[in-house]
Copies of this chain bind each other. A is one copy, B any other.
Amino acid sequence: MGPIQGPDAFAALYAVDEVRYVDELPAALLTPSAGGEPIVGADAEGRKIHVLSGVNTDSGSTVVGASFDGLADVGAAVESEVLHQTMIQLRAVKTPAELEVMRYVCKVSSEAHVELMKKVKPGMYEYQAESLFMHHCYFYGGHRHVGYTCICGAGTNAAVLHYGHAGAPNDAPISDGDMLLFDMGGEYARYGADITCSYPANGKFSEQQKTIYNIVLASVKAVEDAMRPGVSWPDMHLLAERTILEGLVEAGILVGSVDEMMDACLASTFMPHGLGHLLGIDTHDVGGYLAGESRSSRPGLASLRMGRVLEENMVVTVEPGVYFIDCALDKALATPEQARFINQEGLAAYRTFGGVRIEDDVVVTSDGIENLTLVPREVDDIEAVMAGGEWAAAKMERVE
């Protein structure tokens, strides 16, 4: 296994004052040194041992607190709540060093998406797109891992939200005429990107594809224009929903009053997920709900992984989507207060469309956002890149 590192190496790596083996901790922390004071306990002037312990509000997983012999005996000197809450807030709001890593991860992942746009073509299998993406991230960016299982859905597979998992491992062929939905992000130094690109496999948007794509893009722009510190993230989700409903009316798929559609919670039929989430060490990063807060039960908001007000240096994803999912559509059609807005003839033409999602990773700045995602988003730009055009924004300097 190579040379074994001692405590000093880990102290240097993590930039902390002191590192001890677990079996040394009782002596180091609980016993008074010669002439010195005990670190904690009756004579220790209220000093405490902070232990990381708590529940991740996104995954539901519990961090079980560290322990060592004798720790239970010092009772009140052990503090097991403050550290977890503090760490969550530290993770939700990024430091300049963290932002530098995330800029790099997003740049490498953007470049990999752009290279993939140039290489993918009908006749390939979805997994070959995954392989091209991962190879680019690793070979040129040093990203050994991706932050989550790659989602490479072609055609109707684009409407399967967590497609790509072991039971549906991106194993379908890509056909001419398919819309592609590629949700992939590299990981470096523990921080991951989470970027989704949607585009036509053959490089040229059909009218239908352009219609749905531009509805989603309008939703991204509406949200990103409105984002700044102090803005409520649930309000942004509702703004995204409203923009999508307006687009679907214009496309002839829905008819009637968008206000009434909002009251009927119709948008979650087409976007059955939240607008976005905090991003960092976890893809769905911690801190989306503060202690005591919980999710709204309203369809749409119930899927939102963050219920907070935006703060400067939070990194969040903006990822609205429009999908045509049979069971969701059938359910809405069977619900009179939703069905009355659906133009069944307009919808019929899109039943096997699949779906579109656009996902940016953005930093909240003092007066707006910085977009870390550097891929082409306009229809014309995507078509130009897929035809072989340069895309300087995501081009890394590198030695081949």
Measured CA separation A142–B171 after assembly (Å): 9
Instruction: Judge if A351 is at the interface, Cβ distance under 8 Å.
Output: no
Contact indicator per residue, chain A 121-134, by CB within 8 Å of chain B (1) or not (0): 00101011011101
Instruction: Judge if A395 is at the interface, Cβ distance under 8 Å.
Output: no
Instruction: Judge if A160 is at the interface, Cβ distance under 8 Å.
Output: yes
A142 touches B127 (CB 8 A): yes
A144 to chain B, nearest CB (A): 6
Question: Provided the pairs A134-B135, A135-B134, A135-B135 are in contact, do residues A160 and B128 lie with their beta carbons within 8 angstroms?
Answer: no
Instruction: Judge if A1 is at the interface, Cβ distance under 8 Å.
Output: yes
Instruction: Judge if A169 is at the interface, Cβ distance under 8 Å.
Output: yes
Closest to A160 in B: B2
Question: Provided the pairs A2-B160, A2-B168 are in contact, do residues A138 and B144 lie with their beta carbons within 8 angstroms?
Answer: no
Instruction: Judge if A162 is at the interface, Cβ distance under 8 Å.
Output: yes
Closest to A171 in B: B142
Instruction: Judge if A163 is at the interface, Cβ distance under 8 Å.
Output: yes
Instruction: Judge if A139 is at the interface, Cβ distance under 8 Å.
Output: yes
A131 touches B127 (CB 8 A): no
Q: How many copies does the complex hold?
A: 2
B165 touches A1 (CB 8 A): yes
**Max count, chain B CB within 10 A of own CB: residue among A130, A139, A160, A163:** A139
Instruction: Judge if A161 is at the interface, Cβ distance under 8 Å.
Output: yes
A139 touches B144 (CB 8 A): no
Closest to A123 in B: B399
A163 touches B2 (CB 8 A): yes
Closest to A129 in B: B139
Q: Which of B144, B161, B162, B165 contacts A127 (CB 8 A)?
A: B144
Contact indicator per residue, chain A 2-15, by CB within 8 Å of chain B (1) or not (0): 10010000000000
A128 touches B139 (CB 8 A): yes
Measured CA separation A130–B2 after assembly (Å): 19
From 35 to 83 in chain A, residues with beta carbon under 8 angstroms from any chain B beta carbon are none
Measured CA separation A128–B398 after assembly (Å): 13
B132 touches A162 (CB 8 A): no
A399 to chain B, nearest CB (A): 8
From 15 to 39 in chain A, residues with beta carbon under 8 angstroms from any chain B beta carbon are none
Q: Which of B1, B128, B144, B161 contacts A162 (CB 8 A)?
A: B1
Contact indicator per residue, chain A 142-169, by CB within 8 Å of chain B (1) or not (0): 1010000000000001001111010111
Measured CA separation A255–B122 after assembly (Å): 64
Q: Which of B1, B130, B169, B171 contacts A160 (CB 8 A)?
A: B1
B127 touches A132 (CB 8 A): no
A119 to chain B, nearest CB (A): 10
Contacts of A128 in B (CB 8 A): 138-139
Name 6 interchain pairs, CB-CB below 8 A, sorted by A. Answer: A127-B142, A130-B138, A132-B135, A135-B135, A135-B139, A144-B169
Q: List the 3 closest A-B pairs by CB distance, nearest first.
A: A135-B135, A131-B138, A131-B139
- Known contacts A131-B138, A132-B139, A142-B171; can you find 5 more A-B pairs with CB under 8 A? A1-B167, A125-B142, A128-B138, A130-B144, A131-B134
